[in-house]
Structure 1
Amino acid sequence: MHYSQMRWMFFCLTALLHGSFIVNAAKILVYCPSISKSHVLLCSKYADLLHNAGHDTVLFIPSYSKLLDNYDGAKHAKVWRLHNVTEAYDTKLGTLANVMENSHIGFIDRLTFDADFWIDMCADLLGKLPEMQHIIDYKFDLVIYNEIDPCTPAIVRLFNIPKTVLLSSEAIMDKVAWNLGLPTLPSYVPSVEENPNHDRMSFFERMSNVYKFFQSIVVHYLQDIHVLNLFRKEVSSDFPSIAEIIRNVSLVLVNTDEIFDLPRSYSSKFVYVGMLEAGKDENVTLPKKQDDYFKKGKSGSVFVSFGTVTPFRSLPERIQLSILNAIQKLPDYHFVVKTTADDESSAQFFSTVQNVDLVDWVPQKAVLRHANLKLFVSHGGMNSVLETMYYGVPMVIMPVFTDQFRNGRNVERRGAGKMVLRETVVKETFFDAIHSVLEEKSYSSSVKRISHLMKNKPFTSEERVTKWIDFVLKYETSEHFDLESNNLSIIEHNHLDLFFYLCIISLLNFVVYRKIFKRKSQS
């Protein structure tokens, strides 16, 4: 065959393959308000994954927190930003820290604070709608969004995107389960928010769990009502409810791992996809200075980090003193404490302690892979917990808010560590917990078993995400995935009408038989 003919055939084949790629590519929007760095990072993983799978993917970040104005997260997908959305988020987040100083948020606090937390941001965001016209004009095929911000489903609805996928950044949220008709039995399914219970509960823990479950439903219902009233006032009087919008999603991606999380009933619409990019960045190493920190310690090193929202300096003094006491009483271990670059108070606080170093940022996966790391003291965020379980490192968790209480209790339930509650912390609390996990070999063996199972599951999270997204792009799934419970009233769903009917029949039978026996006795 002549060279020019071969070149022409090669060109045609390349064009054919390229054309096939273009046909299969979809326009996908990942909608991600800048609530926290970890939240943006999670969204970025999905955006990059779908971009690398051949889709035209855009990560859209409405700026809620000015602290994250320069953080895009995504390495490959396109990033669109909407700057200066609101000042309310940073202001109210500071108030939230004050509310939560001594314990998790109670029902009254949630009713008076949490139910109104998002409405100001939502009003500010809705006022920016003209600046989001380019999203509507781009004509996306599918959007992925998170349910944390109750305004998000309503805003996304205005983009007129045919397919929607819900991303649950935690375990299956109570309100999502409620809206999608999932059976949730509080007897063994712990409520996700502000709830330090696992699936094996005592009588009083079950009572508390029922209370927490309905508290969550009520608070989110009030949030949704506030948002709905705003949109019916500003957009359309017949704007659908948030529950109806969520009910019509094509798929729910659940950011947890079924090996770690507690078993519960769920429908085909839910796909567990925790630990995206598991095993990735294996070539990333610690900078030499940080690596030297973790190499210190005769018996090993301990990493202490309570997340980006809770730097060490923001902890109450009694908790700082309890951690200091543990560090001083464990001189054979070297502690690396994460804080911020401008945190002079923590530097002064630890100035006389020999076995501690402070860092403002570290590549966490590289830390968790470090051969000398023996323990991670954490706030219990889902991403941190999953990464730590994956790399087989025991944990001590002090939860701060939302699902972190449940995550901490689940770590205990799996035998992978201990949890301490802030309101119970005294001088010896952290020493007792850290010393116990470091010295008892059962914790290390349990977490290594979990790590082995997570690493050897039949399908990776990346495979699940890409294949399921391609599937819902191609097919309409509602007829096959939607539970009929979505169409049932509360009375029908809980058989209240049946119980009422049986009670009436029983009562009538009692009355009839009583009259019969009364007549017989009289005769």
Structure 2
Amino acid sequence: MHLKNLFSQLTLWHFAIFIIVFTSNQFFGSADLIKRDSSLNRTNVPKKILATSMIGRTHLPQMCEILKILMDRGYDVILISPGNYTAKSIHYHSIPQIIFENEIASQQFNNKSSDVNNALVDDDPLKLMLLLGKMAVQSYILFYNIYKQVAEENKVDLFFCDYMPLINHPCFDLAWKLGKPAVGISADTSILSNAPYKSDPMLGCHANMENESFYARFKCAIIIPLKLVWSSIDFLRGLNAERATVGINPHWDLRGRVSNLLMLSNTFFGFEVSSSDSPLHQEIGPILPDTFPGLTPVLDSFLADHPRTIYFALGTNAIISSQNVIIILNAFIKLIDQNVIDGVIWPTVRTDISESIEYANSSVSISTILNNQHPNIHISKFSPQFAILSHENTKLFLSHGGSASSHESMYTGTPMLVLPIMGDQPRNAEMLESAGMALKLSKNDLKVDDIVSKVERLLNEESFKKNAERVQFLAKVNSKRKYRAADLMEIVLNTAKYEGVKDENGGFKIDNEKLLRDWITPDTRMGFIRGKYLDVYGVAIILLLALGGGFVYTLLTIVRYTYIISRSENRNDQKSLKPKKE
């Protein structure tokens, strides 16, 4: 009976609501929905972009992915870089590239006995940085003149500069000189961060100094930066001398003319050490292509037959000693013999196998591997890395920890064993380990047993796979942000349209110090003391100390006065109690 009454009441309510909606539509009229217009007005927006890199190769994919998006949106782009990169690439044929060779850099990187390669092997990061800086100074005029000629011939509206400390100053300097906006991009812009707890393992610190001692934090925040500045004085003098040759004013910031520019960082939260930075510094990674080369029949067959495979790759630039190559291969043999793994894929790229064969000529097993005759270890000069990492039988990635390799491993959810060599690799290794999906090795203390034990941990402890899957979700979500990078560059160009002054070529001339003033946080204009509110906090502390001191003084005075009164009264009482003499 109660259910019947409830059903009747509900029916009446529904009927009443229908009547109200019907009569309201009749009274007010039935409004049609309209769709918001999300199209952008690109009329008269500057559209010619010059992308530059003094390094090339592994630094180019992150730039080229963004350039492809901008080309699809109607922008004209040109890439200047050493080597014939776009013609050889399967992804970036459509991007026009001006090709030239930097003979100074080629000689250093291709000569095994060069100072740069010796610094890599000797693990001397400060020496390596200074050598790279010396190369940059020697190449400055060459790159500046090439950039200038191309920019003027093509009436370039924006410079898109590959950024590394000490490297590619001509790009930013020329943009400043010509009055054109510039945007920088790097795998890691931590050197520009305002967070004092972010540091560089290449300099003997940690990526995250949160849990370090006072001494370690003092050393990495004060001593090492001062040492770096002191060591870089000759570099800056040489660089400013080259600048003067082409009419560029001197600049004494080691980081270059980038303080008020949009700087894009190919990284993402969940991997990068969190910090609150300027809107000028935008994380837009991980930047990855939408398609990758698939597996060759040989590799497909190898992976199908080896369900517990390690993929071992050190990228196109990393170099390790022959001794370390032998240690790694001995570790693989031990892991295979113990049935921990059953397969290894190794694209050698820059590894000189002939040297390793000479070093290990007494070992039959090693010689078998290096001659590619081991049934469980496949060696080739190149392998489709992403396809290998995507395969379900690839259980672990032994890598140098470069940004591209790290991103691909995170995207595919593959745990990593990282052997950092140089550059951003030590920092990436620490962040991957902090994310719980990797363990790291030391190239200066590489041991077979250490490799074996860490491989066993990575394969057997469930936490590494779970953390890899957690980071994989973040990587996939954030991989869409390359479109945001293109959006941000469009915003810069559109701002130049409204803030710039037309020049003789019909383009817009701007002041890079003021163009993005809305993005610049006020503290950078207020100075260190006012920007950090140290004056306000200082006065507040003084007032608190004064009030606290006054309160304590008053309290002590009252206590003292009370004590004196009490003591005086006690004396009077004692006197009154004494018997009077007759």
Query: Shorter-chain TM-score: what band?
Result: 0.7 to 0.9
The answer to whether the 8 A contact 1:396-1:419 is kept is yes
Match of 2:216 in 1: 208
The answer to whether the 8 A contact 2:86-2:95 is kept is no
Match of 2:334 in 1: 328
- Give yes or no for the alignment of 1:76 onto 2:94: yes
* Shift, 1:150, TM fit: 2.6
* TM-score normalised per structure 2: 0.71
* Shift, 1:48, TM fit: 2.5
Report the residue type matching 1:146 in the other structure: D
Q: Secondary structure at the match of 2:79?
A: strand
Match of 2:257 in 1: 245
- Give yes or no for the alignment of 1:163 onto 2:178: no
Match of 1:343 in 2: 353
The answer to whether the 8 A contact 1:194-1:406 is kept is no
- Give yes or no for the alignment of 1:40 onto 2:40: no
> Given the alignment, which residue of 484, 493, 499 partners 2:522?
484
* Shift, 1:315, TM fit: 2.4
* Shift, 1:336, TM fit: 1.1
Match of 1:122 in 2: 137
The answer to whether the 8 A contact 1:139-1:161 is kept is no
Q: Identity of counterpart residues, as a percentage?
A: 17
Aligned mates of 1:389, 1:363 — CA distance in 2: 16
Match of 2:190 in 1: 173
Aligned mates of 1:462, 1:503 — CA distance in 2: 46
CA deviation vs aligned residue, 1:346-368 (integer Å, no higher than 9, x gap): 46753335321212111221111
Match of 2:284 in 1: 273
Match of 1:294 in 2: 303
CA deviation vs aligned residue, 1:253-312 (integer Å, no higher than 9, x gap): 11002232221111222222112235x115x31111232333332x4211111121225x
The answer to whether the 8 A contact 2:525-2:531 is kept is no
* Shift, 1:328, TM fit: 2.6
> Given the alignment, which residue of 427, 430, 450 partners 1:429?
450
- Give yes or no for the alignment of 1:439 onto 2:460: yes
Q: Secondary structure at the match of 1:308?
A: coil
Match of 1:475 in 2: 495
Aligned mates of 1:22, 1:515 — CA distance in 2: 72
> Given the alignment, which residue of 321, 329, 332 partners 1:315?
321
- Give yes or no for the alignment of 1:86 onto 2:104: yes
- Given the superposition, is the C-alpha separation of residues 351 and 295 from structure 1 closer, same or farther in structure 2, using an over 3 Å criterion? farther
Question: Where do 5+ consecutive residues of structure 1 fail to align?
Answer: 1-19
Q: Secondary structure at the match of 2:518?
A: helix
Greater shift, 393-402 or 129-138, is seen at: 129-138
* TM-score normalised per structure 1: 0.78
CA RMSD of aligned residues (A): 3.8
- Given the superposition, is the C-alpha separation of residues 89 and 50 from structure 1 closer, same or farther in structure 2, using an over 3 Å criterion? farther
Report the residue type matching 1:484 in the other structure: P
Report the residue type matching 1:305 in the other structure: A
Aligned mates of 1:21, 1:148 — CA distance in 2: 31
- Given the superposition, is the C-alpha separation of residues 104 and 258 from structure 1 closer, same or farther in structure 2, using an over 3 Å criterion? farther
> Given the alignment, which residue of 157, 160, 167 partners 1:141?
157
- Given the superposition, is the C-alpha separation of residues 508 and 49 from structure 1 closer, same or farther in structure 2, using an over 3 Å criterion? same
- Given the superposition, is the C-alpha separation of residues 55 and 338 from structure 1 closer, same or farther in structure 2, using an over 3 Å criterion? same
Q: Secondary structure at the match of 1:29?
A: strand
Report the residue type matching 1:411 in the other structure: L
Aligned mates of 2:491, 2:154 — CA distance in 1: 22
Aligned mates of 2:383, 2:68 — CA distance in 1: 22
The answer to whether the 8 A contact 1:319-1:422 is kept is no
Greater shift, 501-510 or 353-362, is seen at: 501-510
- Give yes or no for the alignment of 1:306 onto 2:314: yes
Aligned mates of 2:437, 2:80 — CA distance in 1: 37
Aligned mates of 1:192, 1:488 — CA distance in 2: 32
* Shift, 1:394, TM fit: 0.4
Q: Secondary structure at the match of 1:480?
A: coil
* Shift, 1:27, TM fit: 0.6
Q: Secondary structure at the match of 1:396?
A: strand
Match of 1:9 in 2: none
The answer to whether the 8 A contact 2:45-2:493 is kept is no
CA deviation vs aligned residue, 1:41-79 (integer Å, no higher than 9, x gap): 333323323223321011111x3xx79898678322110
Please say which structure displays the higher CA radius of gyration: 2
Aligned mates of 2:229, 2:161 — CA distance in 1: 17
Match of 2:503 in 1: none
* Shift, 1:123, TM fit: 3.1
Aligned residues: 476
Q: Secondary structure at the match of 2:311?
A: strand
Greater shift, 23-32 or 116-125, is seen at: 116-125
* Shift, 1:374, TM fit: 0.5
- Given the superposition, is the C-alpha separation of residues 226 and 41 from structure 1 closer, same or farther in structure 2, using an over 3 Å criterion? farther
Aligned mates of 1:196, 1:320 — CA distance in 2: 29
Q: Secondary structure at the match of 1:475?
A: helix
- Given the superposition, is the C-alpha separation of residues 372 and 508 from structure 1 closer, same or farther in structure 2, using an over 3 Å criterion? closer
* Shift, 1:136, TM fit: 2.4
* Shift, 1:100, TM fit: 3.9
- Given the superposition, is the C-alpha separation of residues 124 and 45 from structure 1 closer, same or farther in structure 2, using an over 3 Å criterion? same
- Given the superposition, is the C-alpha separation of residues 471 and 217 from structure 1 closer, same or farther in structure 2, using an over 3 Å criterion? farther
